Structure 1
Amino acid sequence: MDIKYKNTGGNMTVYLNGELDEYSAGQSKNQLDRLIDDNLNIKRFVFNLSGLSFMDSTGIGMLIGRYKKLKRFGIPVFLSGASVNVEKIIEISGLYGIMPKY
């Protein structure tokens, strides 16, 4: 899993690339937590999923955990760019109910 980000005018976009699964979720969680802790002044947080080739339930759990962390600071979280396969997982899980499309 490769994570890149861009902070433009208080809008943080995080680009997730590769597979978000049991193998990569722990390391991704740690990287994202550090990024969030260092940028608590942002207005909006967007997960750009266009680079994800696969995501399983562990990945969903990791995203929900970051959502909860950001919510504590009043920062809204959105999802964008999901491929057809990843979008199916998101829809089945109901993730768009808490993190809408951006």
Structure 2
Amino acid sequence: MTTNHVEVRVEERGDVTVVTVGGVLDALALPDVSRALTDAQRGAAHVIIDLSGVTFMDSRGLGSLLAANERAREGAPPVSIHRPSEAVQRLLDVSGVRGVIPEVDELPTA
């Protein structure tokens, strides 16, 4: 899925689904990102959200991550984030959310 400013790619890697998000994660990107995360949590044993390519994320983008984490707390497959970009790290830190969603250093190989 691609809009003018965000790219969302979903890949199955064994029993893990990797959702890669790049570009601007804001209100305009929210429908694509939320749909990808919701769909990924319908089947995978674990969902890893690669945020290394996100250049900007606002509170709505953060909300989509927290919604996925809440679904996991309610029984959906767990989510982790992979190498959040500096822009994402800043928002996670400022909002006090850093550490709420587990972070992983490595992605599984295909």
Q: What TM bracket, shorter-length normalisation?
A: 0.7 to 0.9
Displacement, 1:50?
Answer: 0.9
Deviation at 1:35, TM superposition (A): 3.2
19, 26, 29: which one aligns with 1:14: 19
- Identical amino acids, percent of aligned pairs: 24
Question: For residues 14 and 32 of structure 2, what CA distance do their matches in structure 1 show?
Answer: 27
Gaps of 5+ in 1: none
Partner residue of 2:36? 31
Q: Which amino acid aligns with 1:22?
A: A
Partner of 1:53: 55
TM-score by length of 1: 0.82
CA RMSD of aligned residues (A): 1.7
> Which residue identity lines up with residue 98 of structure 1 in the other structure?
V
Deviation at 1:31, TM superposition (A): 3.2
Matches of 2:86 and 2:33, distance apart in 1: 22
Aligned residues: 99
For residues 10 and 67 of structure 1, the distance between their equivalents in structure 2, rounded to whole angstroms, comes to: 18
**Gapped runs of 5+ residues in structure 2?**
1-5, 105-110
CA contact (8 A) 2:10 2:19 kept: yes
TM-score, reference length from structure 2:
0.77
Which deviates the most, 87-96 or 8-17? 87-96
Counterpart for residue 107 of structure 2:
none
Where does residue 101 of structure 1 map in the other structure? Answer: 103
